[in-house]
Amino acid sequence: MTAYIRSKKFEEKSQNKGLAVLSLLICCAIFCSVVFCLVQANNLVGCSYEIREQKERITVLETEARDLESLVAQWRSPSNLENLVQSLGMVEAGEIIYLEKEKMVAVKD
């Protein structure tokens, strides 16, 4: 074989190695992109699941708050207060008399 043919084969092998490295880099980039997309999709699903749980918790807490507000309104109702007063044996005051404190002045001798 002549030197020209040998150098031509060497150049082809060199070009093939460069093409193989480039193909390998492209495959690695595609693989990394796919892994990144899968991780992002997994995070998105996890966040949406947490959001759904929090919405359910908010609904439960709002229901509990409404129940507590109605209970407070029931305890504050005049009829309930009258029942409590009667059960404690209290009676309604007739006439209210206010005591006033007399004005005292200190005198210097």
Q: Residues near 80 by Cβ (< 8 Å), separated by ≥ 6?
A: 74
75 sits in the region (left: phi over 0; alpha: psi -120 to 50; else beta) called alpha
How many secondary structure helices (H) and strands (E) does the chain include? 2, 0
Domain ranges of the chain: 8-87
The percent of residues above 70 in pLDDT, for the chain, comes to 80
pLDDT by residue (tens digit) across 38-75? 999 999 999 999 999 999 999 999 999 999 999 999 98
pLDDT at residue 99 is higher than 80: no
Query: What is residue 34's predicted lDDT score, i.e. its pLDDT?
Result: 97
Is pTM beyond 0.85? Reply is: no
